[in-house]
């Protein structure tokens, strides 16, 4: 069996399997099976073609493996090499430059395979065995993670006494998230931009701006989950090493957390927007899932992002259309005459940098991969466009709502110029200025006709809905200590308490 060529097909399936392992709590097994079949079929067709070229299955298998490596590593390599200069003259500024490199590598491999006279059956045996071990390891790890998830999963329901007994249906609640929207102090210090015009607009509309806003976490998934479940995503009393309750906790805390359950207990309908980010891509618990543009399958989006498909599929216009559709749909939500809890997560001003300040879409093919430090002006262009659109959204919601709604306009965390590009420790060992940029966030609340005495300038997102529900529904949620925790994307729960390093008097 080991003499037969099987390893290229395992390699073709591996990226999908790894992606499923990383996000199995949110992804469907059916999508996994379909994506694996498509990937393996693709590898099989390429293999058959080069088998005809080389007149030898083992040489074809080696070449196809190199091709698959180049094909699936293209996205990561593009993000890493974009804008880099090598030996003073090789400058990667377009995806086609990297495609040229892949073509050269594959040509060299092809020539070598044509020239060498060796019998490559032993190579096939070794590669087959290595890939079988890889496949078994992925399957065992995935099975163990799935078993652990099933064993430890707990419902994020409200505790006894947390639900107000009043069943009066009141104001619509809009929770609008602007991903990576920096605090005004950061915008001034890092981007040399004064955001006073936008803040003055909000103040004139009677928004309360949390001037010293900080995020509780550096990542979107932990930040949104703690906000919507009104508690930290880890247990501060047990240290900073494990999730609050379960492996899959953060995603469930967004879709089925205490805020959503509270609203549903009072008869609210849960409105959610399908997005390009997996945490809010498709929330099955929503009563109304608003889809903009064509349905996006997470597996296909992932494969497009990491592979050469990124060059073939121009998704800049698609992303722009989807975001603009979200703005338009959000403006129309007041027409639904039911009490609403709305979650609208905008990947703005977060990259990809699609928009110019006037709403025009960038046409450069690699712009979607730009790092913020290389193109600060593009981050600002997108932030200015975000401000413009948010003003329109607020005007429409306020003018069309029968009763003044509750609006929370917030970011999950700040920008990441110093984390991504400063070369001073990065995500693994960030300096204070990098932490301050990332952890200092934006938070503005429109709370009409209610006592705002519980609002305060240093409030963090974990307390946002505690304050709001206390003010409007007679609950008595305790205000938690406002702490900020940093972790990188390689280990979400390896958290450091950086509160003292990101306070605004620093």
Task: Report whether 187 contacts 180 (CB < 8 A).
Answer: no
What CATH superfamily is the domain 178-502?
Alkaline Phosphatase, subunit A (3.40.720.10)
Higher pLDDT, 237 or 198: 198
| Mean pLDDT value across residues 477-504 | 89
Q: What is residue 175's three-state secondary structure?
A: strand
Tens-place pLDDT, residues 29-80: 878 888 899 999 999 999 999 999 999 999 999 999 999 999 998 887 877 7
Crossing angle (nearest 10°) for helices 184-191 and 432-439:
130
161 has pLDDT over 60: no
* Average predicted confidence (pLDDT) for the chain: 84
Going through 295-362 in order, the beta strands assigned E by DSSP cover: 340-346
Residues whose CB is less than 8 angstroms from the CB of residue 402 and which lie 6 or more positions away in sequence, other chains included: 334, 337
Tokens of 34: 């379909």
Q: Can you tell me the mean pLDDT for 440-459? A: 92
**Calpha distance 23→39 (Å, rounded):** 18
**Domain ranges within the chain, ordered by starting residue:** 7-150, 178-502
Q: How does DSSP assign 354-405, residue by residue? A: -B-TTSPBP--TTGGG--TTT-HHHHHHHHHHHHHHHHHHHHHHHHH-SSPP
Cα–Cα distance measured from residue 387 to residue 348, given in angstroms and rounded to the nearest whole number: 10
Name the nearest CA neighbour of 97 among 109, 110, 108, 84. Answer: 84
Q: Cis before residue 349, ω within 30 degrees of 0?
A: yes
Would you state the pLDDT for residue 85? 62
Q: Decide the pairing of beta strands 173-178 and 340-346.
A: parallel
Which tops the pLDDT comparison, 286 or 364?
286
* 79 secondary structure, DSSP code: H
3-state secondary structure 265-305: HCCCEEEEECCCCHHHCCCCCCCEEECCCCCCCHHHHHHHH
- Which pLDDT band holds residue 165 (cuts at 50, 70, 90)? very low
Where is 259: in which H helix or E strand? helix 258-265
Residue 275: its pLDDT value, please?
84
Query: What is the model's pLDDT at position 326?
Result: 93
pLDDT at 454 over 90: no
For a pLDDT cut of 90, what percent of the chain falls above it?
Answer: 51
pLDDT over threshold 80, residue 433: yes
377: its two tokens: 């002006």
pLDDT tens, position by position, 302-315? 787 788 887 776 56
Reported residue count of the chain is 506
Give the C-alpha separation, 366 to 82, whole Å. 8
User: Residue 226 in contact with residue 214, Cβ under 8 Å?
Assistant: no
Q: 240 or 447: which carries more pLDDT confidence?
A: 447
**CA separation for the pair 37, 299 (Å, rounded):** 12
Is residue 416's pLDDT more than 80? Answer: yes
What tens digit of pLDDT does each residue of 233-283 get? 887 666 555 444 333 467 778 888 889 989 998 889 999 988 878 778 768
Q: How confident is the model at residue 368 (pLDDT cuts 50, 70, 90)?
A: very low
- pTM score > 0.85 for this model? no
- What per-residue confidence (pLDDT) applies to 230? 92
Identify the H or E element spanning 53.
helix 29-54
Helices and strands in the chain: count of H runs, count of E runs: 18, 11
Asked whether 506 and 212 are in contact (CB, 8 A), the reply is no
The pLDDT value recorded for residue 243 is 47
pLDDT score of 42: 94
Confidence of residue 8 (pLDDT cuts 50, 70, 90): very high
Q: pLDDT-based confidence at 420, cuts 50/70/90? A: low
Instruction: Tell me how far apart the alpha carbons of residues 299 and 252 are, in angstroms, rounded to a whole number.
Output: 20
Nearest residue to 208 (alpha-carbon basis) of 463, 477, 483, 459: 459
Peptide bond into 476 cis (omega under 30): no
Which pLDDT band, with edges at 50, 70 and 90, does 227 fall under?
A: very high
Q: Which two tokens stand for residue 195?
A: 């955001």
> 296: pLDDT confidence band, cut at 50, 70 and 90?
low
Indicate if the pLDDT at residue 134 is higher than 80: yes
User: To the nearest whole percent, how much of the chain has pLDDT over 70?
Assistant: 84
Per-residue pLDDT at 82:
63
Tell me how far CA of residue 73 lies from CA of 34, 78, 121, 243, 305, in angstroms.
21, 9, 27, 31, 10
Q: Tell me: pLDDT of 144 over 80.
A: yes
Strands annotated E in 26-163: 85-86, 90-91
pLDDT over threshold 50, residue 151: no
Task: Give tens-digit pLDDT for 86-118.
Answer: 665 555 656 777 888 899 999 999 999 988 888
Mean pLDDT of 411-424: 78
Cβ atoms within 10 Å, residue 332: 12
CA atoms within 13 A on the CB side of 214: 25
């Amino acid at each position: 069996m080991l003499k037969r060529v099987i390893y290229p097909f395992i390699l073709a399936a591996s990226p999908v399997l790894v992606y499923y392992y990383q996000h199995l709590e949110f992804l469907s097994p059916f999508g996994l099976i379909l994506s694996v079949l498509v990937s393996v079929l693709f590898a099989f067709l390429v293999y058959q073609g080069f088998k005809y070229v080389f007149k030898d299955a083992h040489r074809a298998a080696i070449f196809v493996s190199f091709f698959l490596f180049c094909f699936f590593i293209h996205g990561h390599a593009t993000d890493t090499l974009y804008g880099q200069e090598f030996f003073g003259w090789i400058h990667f500024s377009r995806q086609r430059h990297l495609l040229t490199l892949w073509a050269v590598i594959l040509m060299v491999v092809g020539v070598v395979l044509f020239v060498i006279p060796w019998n490559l059956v032993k190579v096939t045996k070794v590669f087959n065995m290595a890939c079988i071990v890889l496949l078994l390891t992925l399957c065992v790890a995935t099975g163990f993670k799935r078993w652990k998830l099933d064993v430890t999963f707990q419902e994020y329901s409200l505790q006894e006494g947390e639900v107000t007994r009043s069943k009066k249906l009141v104001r619509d609640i809009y929770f609008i998230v602007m991903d990576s929207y920096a605090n005004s102090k950061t915008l001034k210090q890092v981007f040399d931009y004064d955001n006073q015009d936008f803040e003055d607009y909000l103040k004139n509309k009677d928004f309360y701006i949390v001037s010293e806003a900080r995020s509780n976490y550096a990542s979107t998934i932990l930040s949104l989950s703690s906000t919507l479940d009104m508690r930290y995503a880890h247990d501060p009393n047990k240290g900073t090493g494990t999730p609050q309750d379960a492996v899959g906790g953060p995603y469930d805390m967004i879709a089925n957390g205490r805020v959503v359950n509270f609203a549903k207990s009072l008869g609210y309908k849960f409105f959610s927007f399908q997005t390009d980010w997996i945490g809010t891509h498709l929330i099955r618990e929503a009563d109304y899932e608003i889809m903009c543009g064509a349905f996006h399958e997470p597996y296909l989006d992932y494969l497009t992002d990491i592979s050469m498909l990124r060059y073939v599929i121009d998704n800049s216009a698609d992303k722009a259309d989807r975001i603009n559709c979200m703005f338009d749909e959000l403006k129309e939500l007041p027409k639904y005459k039911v009490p609403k809890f709305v979650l609208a997560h905008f990947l703005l001003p977060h990259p990809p940098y699609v928009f110019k300040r006037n709403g025009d879409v960038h046409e450069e093919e690699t712009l979607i991969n730009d790092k913020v430090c290389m193109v600060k002006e593009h981050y600002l262009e997108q932030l200015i466009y975000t401000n413009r659109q948010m003003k329109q959204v607020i005007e429409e919601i306020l003018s069309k709502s029968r009763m003044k709604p509750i609006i929370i306009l917030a970011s999950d965390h700040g920008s990441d110029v110093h984390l991504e590009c400063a070369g001073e420790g990065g995500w693994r060992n960030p300096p204070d200025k990098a932490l301050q940029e990332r952890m200092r966030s934006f938070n503005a609340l429109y709370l009409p006709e209610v006592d705002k005495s519980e609002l305060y300038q240093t409030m963090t997102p974990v307390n946002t809905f505690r304050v709001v529900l206390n003010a409007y529904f007679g609950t008595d949620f305790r205000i938690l200590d406002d702490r900020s925790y940093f972790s990188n994307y390689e280990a979400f729960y390896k958290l450091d308490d950086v509160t003292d390093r990101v306070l605004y008097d620093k």
